[in-house]
Amino acid sequence: RIGAALYDVMSGMMFETAHHRDRTLFQALLEARRQAGGGAVAVEDVTRKPLSHDRLLTGALVLGRVLARGTEPGEAVGLMLPNVNAAAVAFFALQGRGRVPAMLNFSTGSGAVLSACEAACIRTVITSRRFIEQARLGALAAALEGRVRLLYLEDVADSIGPVSKLAGLLARP
């Protein structure tokens, strides 16, 4: 018990003395980009296609404009995506627009995912048709469709034109 109590005290001290603990992860991304440089690798997924800080930020700014439609600042928005670069872009897109990205664990089954959506007041879940198909999550998607709005990244990508991409480049700090 003494060891556990000491651990709690030490962990609390680390948290309390941490710098910038009241900034968002999006703000931390901007700081990391400033420190490492826009060309430095920010994320890399299993496909071995790294994204630089600049590409991650530009993608997040472009995607964020679309994902923010139909949601309110501070609203929790579900993310049901595999661990790929697109998930990181979507996460920071939501963060950058003041939404709360809520990572949904699809492997827990439809009951648990629906309960998580209800508990977090999630009205929109962002996913991918390709992911739903490859992971054989059709039944889960069908269960969600009656309760939340499913927003598929493939549909969003089709709605992003060159003007939106240019606006994302120009909006980059």
Say whether pLDDT at 11 is over 90. Answer: no
The percent of residues in the chain predicted with pLDDT above 70, rounded, is 94
**pTM value?**
0.83
- Structure confidence at residue 15 (pLDDT): 67
Interhelix angle 53-67/25-36, rounded to 10 degrees, is 150
Per-residue pLDDT tens over the stretch 139-164: 999 999 989 999 999 999 888 877 77
3-state secondary structure of 100: strand
Q: What pLDDT score does 61 carry? A: 94
